[in-house]
Amino acid sequence: MAGSVNKVILVGNLGRDPEVRSTQNGQKIVNMTVATSESWKDRQTGERREKTEWHRVVIFNPNLGEIAERYLRKGSKVYLEGQLQTRKWTDQSGQERYSTEVVLQAYRGELTLLDSRSGGGQGGDMQVMETVGFAGADSTPGYGASPRFGGSPEPSSRSGGSGWDAASRNDLDDEIPF
C-alpha cells in the first residue's frame, strides 16, 4: 500500500448553530460541533446505555461554508467528509494548547444535509427526506441522482478518464518515509 489516508466521515447532529467568522481578507471560516452517538444494552444490568462523542468541525471551503451558514441549525443532521488536523496555539497565560478538528479545506470535503431544510432537527427520528447539494461550479447531478455539497466536482465521463496516466503512476515513490 502506497501512502496513507487521512479521511474522516461523520454522520451526526449539530450541537449548536454554526459560528461564522471572517479573516482580514474576507474569507469566511465556519466552526461547528457535531455529535455522534452509539447505544447498547449493558450485559450486566440490562439497561440501555448511550455514549456521545463531540467533534469540532472547521469549514474553510467557501461554498460549503455558505451552505452551512444558510441551512444548518442546532440539531441539523449532516453527513460530512474531511480531514483530521491538530492545531497548536498558546493561550493568554502562556500555556500551549492543542485542538483536534475535522477540517473541510477549500476544494476538498463534502457536506450533505440529511433532514429537510425546514425541519432543522425538530421532529421525528426519520427526517432523511431531502438531500440538497452543490457538487462544483460546472457539474449538474444527473436525473435521479442525489445532489450533494462537495468541494470538488463529481467525476464524470466528460473528463476523459481517471486523471491518472501511465507516466504519473510510474513517478510514485515506493519508499516508505520512515
| Confidence (pTM) | 0.65
How far apart, in whole angstroms, are the C-alpha atoms of residue 151 and residue 108?
4
Query: Residue 157: its pLDDT value, please?
Result: 39
What's the CA gap between 77 and 88, in Å, rounded? 29
Residue 125 lies in a domain: no
Task: Give residue for cell 510514485.
Answer: 172
In a domain, 68, yes or no: yes
Q: Is residue 79 part of a domain?
A: yes
Write out pLDDT tens, residues 63-105. 999 999 999 999 999 999 999 999 998 999 999 999 999 999 9
Average pLDDT, the chain: 76
CA angle 54, 102, 98 (to 5 degrees): 80
* Residue 6 domain boundaries: 1-86
C-alpha span between 59 and 72 (Å, rounded) = 13
pLDDT at 133: 37
Q: Report the CATH number that the domain containing residue 81 is assigned in CATH.
A: 2.40.50.140
Residue 69 lies in a domain: yes
Of the pLDDT bands very low, low, confident and very high (cuts 50, 70, 90), residue 45 is: very high
95 lies in some domain: no
User: Helix, strand, or coil here: 135?
Assistant: coil
SS3 134: coil
**Other CB atoms within 10 Å distance of the CB of residue 68:** 27
In-domain check, residue 6: yes
Residue 58, pLDDT > 50, answer yes
Rounded to an integer, the average pLDDT of 136-160 is: 41
- Residue 103's contacts (CB-CB under 8 Å, 6 or more residues apart) are 57, 58, 59, 60, 82, 83, 84, 85, 109
pLDDT, one tens digit per residue, over 103-142 is 999 888 999 999 875 544 443 333 332 333 333 333 333 3
> Has residue 20 got a pLDDT over 60?
yes
Is 71 part of any domain? yes
- Which is more confidently placed, 172 or 163? 172
pLDDT tier at 1, thresholds 50, 70, 90: low
Per-residue confidence (pLDDT) for residue 173, from 0 to 100: 53
Q: How many CB atoms sit inside 10 A of residue 105's CB?
A: 15
Cα–Cα nearest to 33, from 101, 109, 113, 122: 101
- If you average pLDDT over residues 17-40, what whole number do you get? 95
Helix (H, G, I), strand (E, B) or coil at 14: strand
More confident residue, 150 or 106: 106
Q: Where are the beta strands (DSSP E) in the chain?
A: 8-14, 19-22, 28-41, 48-59, 77-90, 96-104, 110-113, 149-150
Q: What is the total count of domains within the chain? A: 1
**173 within a domain of the structure (yes/no):** no
